């Protein structure tokens, strides 16, 4: 389902991307305008339902007159701006950022990143075998989801989704500083002792698989996770009358995880614990 | 917000520490005993949430009294302020001076930064640690620059209790530092601030004229030496007139960015959104910088007066003075000065009887260099992690609490006093055409008379070093601190102006001039700089969070190598450094590679 938002028509700004004139509605980001113009700018931390945090710095572009590169995901387009998305300078920063990330965390379950590493000729190994890595064991402390911070790029999306942007539970935040900064619940306790309400909206927005369904985590460990064999069916949650959309991911006739379409005007991808995790009764065949 | 608190309870002392700041709790919703009234109505909610900015003072209150922040204490503070415990935990673990693990009541911070390292800090640390082993009741922590470079090496003891006690030992010996930690009340008193000003009492000084001359605790003395004439003149001129004078004076920010002060004030003053805020950035944490400390300790009323003028010009009625947590004496002096000024009608509802209301609140940092970045400082005051915000929007539009804010550092503000007393043309006649006025320099390292020097812009690096008594066999000079750059001993003709240093491919930064003779091992110095940035990165963006680590690793690999053996890692450093400069969110990541790059290019550090 595609929803066309109806609102006051917005003025169009005129500026250029890579020398070509473009028009974008007032308030658009450079990234919006690039995508509308059919240009691909890579990004990891940007999310379609959240305010951009611009922490990953993969989407940096060159803007005429700016001293440093600017993050396309969060910088608003301005009239007359001259944006260059693919200069040597921008490509260099993207390459280094990809190298820094890939050398410090496990990006094996991050969609698209392998293509970018190839495209930008990033060589994460060149920092040597002793380069500091997170090297953390997955935190498996409940039956619903797993926190594998060895895959975390600190994009802050789970923090924002748990906090004032969606869930208002504020169960997670960033603790520590610098390379030691980590996503944590209060007092770095197990999830079961925290304020978490298991809505799973953090999993929905996680771009790297650092947060995953226990079912997916276990299947990956067992080597049985096979996305190509999965079907996706979007339906309506039957628990209450709100009408949230559920997308059931089914492999071998078993529901393996539940997501929610981000363009749904009711939920924008958010669910509660029942919709997200309460599917076992469907496949209880005893 | 549906807050969840665990079952950990505060001790009576932890509760008392928080209640001393916030007052006693009124209902069981915020930690009092349950009463009948609690069944009918709830306190907290919006009312408490609006006090979120008391989170940092609350953490200080607990840390000061107990020495560390337990789960029970943190949860109690969160209950009182309606702050989610996960967020408060994120804030508490952000600052170096707080601990969420049990530790002894006394912490001895031993400075290991550039000037102190050159003056024998490693040996001092080892000596202190062997004397104060486990069980001594003292936790010895290696600290970034304590801002006592003129008296290197330095140590700061903080003993938790009610009240918290502090003692400084500088120049520190093992015995003196151990005494400061074990009995802070009986440690030797610090020398007066004027000892850091070799020019103290000399005629012709504009910014340092009162240091060593006035009693920093006496408002009357301050007025006897010209205090508050600038504010009177400001009231004569009116806000627009003050901004015109500051603009005409050519004053630019002295914190390192060199942005025109008049333009910043004008942009804030004309914002339609209200209230406007004034923030004085006294979070001086750049290694090698101690000028703001000396001003605040030696002439605190000058800062109070200058803040009043800045607020009047920009339409602010509230000023926040954000002071770094490692400056206990400056804190005491300023608290006293603010109280005195308030008592005498120079702060408050009716400043100088002019019908203008202004007051100053002092906020204490807790050990984070990044909080000197202007937007990180706003987050810190507001009770969030001290992470920089992305710009735009700029602070003049959306700053502290989302309102138009003018932020200046201590030295910049203090310059406003001579501008108003001598007039813009006379002020602009000092220095050079584009760098006007007097400038403070923090000279330390291999010199006979380290300290703060005031010179008109345009003096050369050689002039300044001669004044400070530079020693023989000078090997390198670090200009602008860890975020600045090195120059060679044959480059002492560089004029100390913004344009002169820029032309020479370096920077004036915050006014740091550190001289190193050939006994100082350069690779170890560069490692310390890299270590500093790795420790102080907030961790928000990838280029800085990981880049500073990779930089330090590469410098470790080449610490003992030169020439071809180092070439590969130097090329790697250049590539990473370029991306850090281009793609980091804020100035910390953007400048973290400057000093190392200059040491490679200008000093041939690894040739």
User: pLDDT tens-digit profile of B327-368?
Assistant: 999 999 999 999 999 999 999 999 999 999 999 999 999 999
> 3-state secondary structure string, chain A?
CCCCCCCCCCCEEEEEECCEEEEEECCCEHHHHHHHCCCCCCCCCCCCCCCCCCCCCCCEEEECCCCCCEECCCCECCCCCEEECCCHHHHHHHHHHHHHHHHHCCCCCCCCHHHHHHHCCCCHHHHCCCCCCCCCCCECCCCCEEECHHHCCCCCHHHHHHCCCCCCCCCEEEECCHHHCEEEEHHHCCHHHCCCCCCCHHHHHCCCCCEEEHHHHHHHHHCCCCHHHCEEEEEECCCCCCCCEEEEEEECCEEEEEECCCCCCCCCCCCCHHHHHCCHHHHCCC
B478 pLDDT band (50/70/90 cuts)? Answer: very high
Is there a contact between A55 and B541 if contact means CB atoms under 8 Å apart?
Answer: yes
Residue B71 has pLDDT above 70, yes or no: yes
Q: Is the pLDDT of residue B43 over 70?
A: no
Q: Which two tokens stand for residue B39?
A: 């069944």
Residue B456's Cβ-side half-sphere holds a number of Cα atoms within 13 Å equal to: 13
Chain A, residues 180-239, CB within 8 A of chain B, namely 180-181, 184-189, 193-195, 197
Cα gap A250→B181, rounded to integer Å: 64
Confidence tier at A4 by pLDDT (50, 70, 90): low
Task: Say if residue A280 is exposed, middle or buried (CB neighbours under 10 Å; 0-12, 13-18, 19+).
Answer: exposed
The number of angstroms, rounded, from the C-alpha of B398 to the middle of its chain's C-alpha atoms is 22
Region B98-116 average pLDDT:
96
Q: What gap in Å lies between CA B492 and CA B495, rounded to an integer? A: 8
| Higher per-residue confidence, B2 vs A143 | A143
Question: Which residues in chain A are closer than 8 Å to B587, comparing Cβ atoms?
Answer: none
Q: Is A177 on the interface with B (CB under 8 A)?
A: yes
Q: Is the model more confident about A64 or about B47?
A: A64
Query: Chain B residue closest to A165 (CA)?
Result: B1
pLDDT at A74: 95
pLDDT digits (tens, 9 = 90+) for B167-206: 999 999 999 999 999 999 998 899 999 999 999 999 999 9
Q: Each residue of A149-178: pLDDT tens digit?
A: 999 999 999 999 999 999 999 999 999 999
pLDDT of A1: 42
* Beta-carbon pairs below 8 A across chains A and B: 167
The pLDDT > 90 percentage for chain B reads 91
Q: Give the pLDDT of residue B29.
A: 79
Nearest to B444 by CA among B180, B145, B164: B145
- Position B337 scores a pLDDT of 98
d(CA A117, CA A91): 11
For residue B93, the chain A residue with the least C-alpha distance is A176
DSSP per residue over B154-221, as a string? -EEEEE-SSS-EEEEESS--HHHHHHHHH-GGGSPPPPPGGGG-TTTT-TT-SSSTTTTTS-TT-HHH
pLDDT of A261 reads 96
CB contact under 8 A, A97 and B579: yes
Quick one: which H or E segment has residue B476?
strand B474-479
Confidence of residue B47 (pLDDT cuts 50, 70, 90): confident
User: Which pLDDT does position A160 carry in this prediction?
Assistant: 97
Could A96 and B543 be called an inter-chain contact, meaning their C-beta atoms sit closer than 8 Å?
yes
Q: How many CA atoms lie within 13 A of A11 on its CB side?
A: 6
Query: What crossing angle do the helices spanning B121-131 and B174-182 adopt, rounded to 10°?
Result: 50
CA-to-CA distance for B103 and B138, rounded, in angstroms?
8
Identify the CA nearest to B200 among candidates B451, B511, B469, B438: B451
When the pLDDT of each residue in chain B is averaged and rounded to a whole number, the result is 95
pLDDT for residue B27: 82
| Bridge partners (DSSP) listed for residue A112 | none
The residue with tokens 């002060």 is B261
| pLDDT exceeds 60 at position A209 | yes
pTM of this structure: 0.96
pLDDT at A94 over 90: yes
ipTM of the complex: 0.95
Q: Do B535 and A132 touch (CB under 8 A)?
A: no
Reported as a single tens digit per residue, the pLDDT across A48-88 is 999 999 999 999 999 999 999 999 999 999 999 999 999 99
Residue range B274-290: average pLDDT?
A: 97
- A180 to chain B, minimum CA–CA distance in Å? 8
Contact list in A for residue B548 (CB cut-off 8 A) is 178-179
User: How high does pLDDT run on average in chain A?
Assistant: 94
Residue B256 pLDDT class (50, 70, 90 cuts): confident
d(CA B81, CA B404): 25
Per DSSP, the three-state class of B455 is strand
Per residue in B410-447, pLDDT (tens digit) is 999 999 999 999 999 999 999 998 999 999 999 999 99
CB-CB neighbours of B519 under 10 Å: 10
Check if B1 contacts A (Cβ < 8 Å): yes
pLDDT surpassing 70 at residue B473: yes
pLDDT at B467 over 50: yes
A178 in contact with B at a CB cutoff of 8 Å? yes
Of B3, B549, B582, Cβ closest to residue A179: B549
Predicted local distance difference test score (pLDDT) of residue B41: 65
Helix (H) or strand (E) holding B318: strand B316-323
Q: Give the number of other Cβ atoms within 10 Å of residue B369's Cβ.
A: 27
- Mapped onto helix, strand or coil, the DSSP state of residue B444 is strand
Across the beta sheet with A60-63, what order do the strands follow? A20-25, A12-17, A82-84, A60-63, A70-71
Inter-chain CB proximity A126 and B71 less than 8 Å:
no
B35 pLDDT band, cuts 50/70/90, is: confident
Q: Say how far residue A165 (Cα) sits from the centre of its chain.
A: 14
Nearest to B170 by CA among B186, B157, B183: B157
């Amino acid at each position: 389902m595609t929803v066309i938002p109806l609102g006051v028509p917005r003025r169009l700004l005129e500026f250029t991307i890579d020398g070509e004139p473009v028009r974008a509605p007032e308030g658009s980001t450079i990234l919006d305008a690039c995508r509308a113009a059919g240009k691909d700018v890579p990004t990891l931390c940007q999310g379609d339902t959240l305010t951009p945090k611009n922490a990953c710095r993969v989407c940096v572009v060159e803007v005429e007159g700016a001293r440093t590169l600017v993050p396309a995901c969060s910088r608003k387009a301005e009239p007359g701006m001259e944006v260059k998305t693919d200069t040597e300078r921008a490509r260099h920063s993207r390459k280094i950022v990809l190298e820094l990330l890939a050398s410090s965390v496990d990006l094996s379950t991050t969609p698209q990143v392998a293509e970018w590493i190839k495209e930008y000729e990033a060589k994460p190994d060149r920092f040597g075998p002793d380069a500091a890595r997170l090297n953390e064991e997955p935190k498996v402390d409940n039956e619903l989801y797993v926190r594998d911070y060895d895959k975390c790029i600190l994009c802050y999306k789970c923090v924002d989704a748990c906090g004032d942007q969606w869930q208002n539970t504020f169960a997670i935040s960033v603790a520590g500083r610098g390379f030691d900064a980590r996503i944590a619940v209060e007092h770095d306790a197990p999830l079961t002792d925290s304020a978490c309400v298991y809505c799973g909206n953090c999993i929905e927005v996680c771009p790297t698989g650092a947060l995953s369904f226990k079912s997916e985590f276990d299947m990956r460990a067992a080597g049985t996770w096979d996305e190509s064999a999965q079907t996706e069916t979007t339906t309506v949650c039957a628990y209450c009358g709100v009408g949230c959309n559920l997308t059931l991911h089914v492999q071998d006739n078993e529901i393996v995880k539940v997501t929610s379409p981000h363009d749904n005007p009711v939920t924008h991808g958010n669910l509660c614990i029942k919709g997200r995790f309460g599917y076992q009764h469907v496949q209880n065949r005893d | 917000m549906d807050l969840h608190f665990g079952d950990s309870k505060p001790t009576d002392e932890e509760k008392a520490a928080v209640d001393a700041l916030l007052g006693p709790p009124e209902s069981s919703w915020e930690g009092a005993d349950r009463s009948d009234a609690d069944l009918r109505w709830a306190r907290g909610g919006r009312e408490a949430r609006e006090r979120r900015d008391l989170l940092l003072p609350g953490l200080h209150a607990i840390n000061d009294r107990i020495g560390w922040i337990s789960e029970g204490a943190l949860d109690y503070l969160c209950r009182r302020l309606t702050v989610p415990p996960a967020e408060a935990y994120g804030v508490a673990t952000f600052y170096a001076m707080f601990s969420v693990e049990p530790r002894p009541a006394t912490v001895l911070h031993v400075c290991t930064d550039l000037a102190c390292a050159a003056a024998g800090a490693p040996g001092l640390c080892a000596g202190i640690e062997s004397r104060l082993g486990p069980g001594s009741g003292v936790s010895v922590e290696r600290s970034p620059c304590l801002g006592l470079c003129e008296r290197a090496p330095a140590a700061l003891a903080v003993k938790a209790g009610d009240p918290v006690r502090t003692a400084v030992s500088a120049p520190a010996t093992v015995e003196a530092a151990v005494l400061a930690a074990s009995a802070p009340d009986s440690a030797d008193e610090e020398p007066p601030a004027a000892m850091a000003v070799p020019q103290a009492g000399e005629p012709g000084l504009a910014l340092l004229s009162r240091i060593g001359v006035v009693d920093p605790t006496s408002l009357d003395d301050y007025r006897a030496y010209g205090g508050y004439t600038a504010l009177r003149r400001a009231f004569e001129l009116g806000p627009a007139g003050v901004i015109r004078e500051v603009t005409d004076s050519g004053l630019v920010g002295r914190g390192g960015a060199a942005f025109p002060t008049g333009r910043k004030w004008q942009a804030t003053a004309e914002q339609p959104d209200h209230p406007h805020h004034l923030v004085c950035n006294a979070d001086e944490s750049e290694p090698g910088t101690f000028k703001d400390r000396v001003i605040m300790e030696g002439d605190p009323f000058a800062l109070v007066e200058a803040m009043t003028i800045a607020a009047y010009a920009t339409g602010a009625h509230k000023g926040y003075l954000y002071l770094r947590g490692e400056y206990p004496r400056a804190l005491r002096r300023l608290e006293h000065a603010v109280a005195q000024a308030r008592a005498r009608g120079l702060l408050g509802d009716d400043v100088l009887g002019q019908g203008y209301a202004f007051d100053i609140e002092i906020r204490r940092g807790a050990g984070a260099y990044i909080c000197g970045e202007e937007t990180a400082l706003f987050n810190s005051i507001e009770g969030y992690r001290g992470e920089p915000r992305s710009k735009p929007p700029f602070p003049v539009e959306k700053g502290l609490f989302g309102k138009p804010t003018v932020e200046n550092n201590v030295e910049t503000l203090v310059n406003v006093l001579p501008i108003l007393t001598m007039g813009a043309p006379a002020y602009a006649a000092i220095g050079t055409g584009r760098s006007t006025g007097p400038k403070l320099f923090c000279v330390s390292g291999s010199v006979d008379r380290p300290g703060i020097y005031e010179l008109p812009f345009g003096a050369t690096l050689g002039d300044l070093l001669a004044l400070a008594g530079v020693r023989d066999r000078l090997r390198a000079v670090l200009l602008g601190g860890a975020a600045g750059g090195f120059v060679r001993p044959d480059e002492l003709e560089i004029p100390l102006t913004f344009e002169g240093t820029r032309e020479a491919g370096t920077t004036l930064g915050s006014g740091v001039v550190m001289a190193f003779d050939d006994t100082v091992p350069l690779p170890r110095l560069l490692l310390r700089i890299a270590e500093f940035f790795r420790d102080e990165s907030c961790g928000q963006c990838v280029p800085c969070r990981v880049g500073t680590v990779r930089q330090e690793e590469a410098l470790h690999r080449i610490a003992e190598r030169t020439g071809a053996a180092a070439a590969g890692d130097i090329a790697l450093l250049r590539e990473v450094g370029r991306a850090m400069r281009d793609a980091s969110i804020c100035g910390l990541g953007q400048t973290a590679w400057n000093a190392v790059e200059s040491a490679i290019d200008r000093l041939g550090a690894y040739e």
